[in-house]
Amino acid sequence: MRFRRISTTLAGASVLALSLAACGTAEVGGGGGGEGEGEGDRITIGVKYDQPGLGLLEGQAPVGFDVDVATYIAGELGYSPEQIDWTEAASANRESFLQQGTVDMIVATYSITDERKNVVDFAGPYYVAQQDILVAADNDDISGPEDLDGKVLCSASGSRSANNIVDSEEDGGLGIGAELREAGNYSECLELLGNGTVDAVTTDNTILAGFAAQNPDAYKMVNNPFGEEKYGVGLPKGSTERCEEINAAITKMWDEGVTTEYLETAFGETGFAYAEEQPAVEGCA
């Protein structure tokens, strides 16, 4: 898969623009069916509210790459931006929201895993991220996961990013002896990193790039990616037809070059190298 480093032509937008990422584009759908052509009058979509560049609450509405992707997909399903009800979907409650009918779908850096597929359905992936590490801006001791041995590592509740580092190789991890500190979300991890309670934060490079760009004087990515995280659109179990519709929308979004526009808008001048090509969508059960 080819990667492209984010263009520096967005220099004027830089850090301030990131926290406002996609503010305008969040209301642009995919140009699919007109108002009222969806299955109901409205659609409820779960996104993150605390991840700069991906899903960040600005005023009354969230903005970011995932929000733009969700708005495009909703447009292809026949819902205008005005027919979308946004709901905060933290990592720990994504499955329960889908199982309980709190949301119709979730677009929230939701990695497709076999374990999760036992209880929910996924369309996509619409993007494949890699895992990386965020440290304090003046930390030169940590340049990769191998340097986390004996260090305190933070990850958000409901995420398995830290386990990818500390679990044994037999269990699919790297077997590195870091001490885990779990926080409610990644904003809390950033607070712990800022006050020195933890030495590093680990999760997807998309998430970390947003936080690093929001406060570059305080934090930096080590830019040593590893692993793979396939971002899917979470759906209630048994949503085969809707899954196929969303996969078609994802393919169209990439074919039209809209996904690249969203990535450029969302991440600004972060140095984050994003994937240029659509990942292969997985079959719908």
Query: 213 and 89: one domain?
Result: no
pLDDT in tens, 92-103: 899 999 999 999
Bridge-based pairing of strands 50-51 and 105-106 is unpaired
User: How do strand 120-136 and strand 200-204 relate by DSSP bridges?
Assistant: antiparallel
For 38-50, the pLDDT digits (tens) are 556 999 999 999 8
Is 284 contained in some domain? no
- Could you tell me the pTM of the whole model? 0.77
Q: With respect to residue 55, please indicate whether it lies within any of the assigned structural domains.
A: yes
Same domain, 136 and 119: no
Tally of domains within the chain: 2
Residue 67 belongs to a domain: yes
Instruction: Print the SS3 string covering 216-254.
Output: CCCEEECCCCEEEEEEEEEEECCCHHHHHHHHHHHHHHH
Tokens of 67: 């929000």
Report if residue 99 sits inside a domain. yes
- Which ranges of the chain does DSSP label H, i.e. alpha helix? 14-19, 65-76, 94-100, 114-117, 161-166, 186-194, 205-214, 240-255, 258-267
Residue 204's DSSP bridge partners are 131
Q: Among candidates 69, 68, 108, which has minimal Cα distance to 87?
A: 108
What type of residue is 247?
Answer: N
Q: Are residues 20 and 155 in the same domain?
A: no
Q: Is residue 285 part of a domain?
A: no
Measured CA to CA, the distance from residue 212 to residue 191 in angstroms comes to: 13
Assign 46 to helix, strand or coil.
strand
Describe the chain by its helix, strand, coil percentages, rounded to 5: 35, 25, 40
Same domain, 244 and 118: yes
Asked whether residue 141 falls in the same domain as residue 268, the answer is no
Q: Is residue 83 part of a domain?
A: yes
pLDDT in tens, 224-260: 988 888 999 999 999 999 999 999 999 999 999 999 9
C-alpha 54/C-alpha 162 separation (Å) is: 20
Quote the tokens at residue 223. 């830019």
pLDDT band at 157 (very low <50, low <70, confident <90, very high): confident
Q: Does residue 103 form part of some domain? A: yes
Please tell me whether residues 10 and 125 are part of one structural domain: yes
**Segments forming the whole domain that contains residue 168:** 130-227
Do 19 and 153 fall within a single domain?
A: no
End-to-end CA distance of the chain: 26
Are residues 150 and 121 located together in one domain of the fold? no
109 and 199 housed in the same domain: no
| 23 falls within a domain | yes
Looking up residue 124, the CATH number of its domain turns out to be 3.40.190.10
- Write the pLDDT tens digit of every residue in 14-39: 333 333 333 333 333 333 333 334 55
